[in-house]
Amino acid sequence: MKHRTVSGKIRYTSVKPGMEGQERGREWFTFTHHTDGSTILRAQCEIEEPDPTVLRDITYHLAPGMVPQNLHVHLTVGDAFMGSGWMHHDAETGTVTCESFGPSIGRLSQEMKVGAFDAFGTHPVVADAYLGRKMDVSKGPHRRNMRCFLPSPDHRGATPPMIAEVNIALEYVGDEEKTVAAGTFACRHFRFVDESEHGMGGVQHPAYDIWAMADDDCILVYASIDGYMMNRYELVEFHRN
């Protein structure tokens, strides 16, 4: 096969009082990099805490140049089907469409003229780290706005798939070495900061620090969110094929 594959597993833990170090979920991911410059991310995410539980399956296609192309999501919340949807970006017309279905929304079709934007927001944490590739690190530490379209503005992505726009600041903090269960890696430190007037999904998202591999794969090595979430994310398995 001509494509290149990068895969691994991330462990979600809590630092809430009384739950320090307790595993609260996990994520398996595979990036497939094709010779035409396109990339496909496949990820399965399990969140056990807080209730209700969330099980999310996504497939995200990025065209050459990291142009968002297609996103499919299947969502199970509280061990019950929440919804399934497909989002498509037509770069020539600047249009995003969504075809979805769920018990609370029925059959839904949406089309929105949006112009240029940075990414589909998919909710797996590896996709958050991969967005760091949009930062020009040659400028040194700096911040820029990321315009994204998500199938759910909920912080856990736990609502039926519908088009939602989110604008969030992403900061390049600097370079650091990070040691985790999967090994020691040279990393770039990024930070998401929610400065939007109404927050993400109506709720201000706490500052979100990410350490990602300092190469084109930009894989999440470690991440932390405090505020009301108090979560940590750690790379525990990693493979390049």
Domain boundary assignment for the chain: 4-240
pLDDT averaged over the chain?
A: 95
- Return d(Cα 195, Cα 238) in angstroms, integer: 33
pLDDT of residue 129: 98
Count of positions (residues) in the chain = 241
- 102 neighbors 81 (Cβ within 8 angstroms): yes
pLDDT score recorded for residue 160: 96
How far is C-alpha 127 from the geometric centre of its chain's CA atoms? 3
SS3 156: coil
Q: What are phi and psi of 117, to 5 degrees?
A: -155, 170
What pLDDT score does 228 carry? 87
Check: CATH 2.30.30 for 4-240?
Answer: no
The answer to whether the CB of 86 falls within 8 A of the CB of 100 is yes
Structure tokens at 237: 């398995």
pLDDT at 76 over 90: yes
- The CA-atom distances, in angstroms, between 217 and each of 6, 99, 120, 133, 203 are 8, 30, 18, 8, 31
pTM score: 0.94
DSSP β-bridge partners for residue 74? 57, 84
- Between CA 100 and CA 137 the distance in angstroms is 37
Cβ–Cβ contacts within 10 Å for residue 147, how many?
A: 14
* Inter-CA distances, 130 with 59, 66, 82, 201, 213, Å: 14, 10, 26, 22, 9
Ranges 22-31, 173-182, 200-209: which has the least confidence: 200-209
pLDDT tens digits, 116-140: 999 999 999 999 999 999 999 999 9
The pLDDT score that the predictor gives to residue 196 is: 77
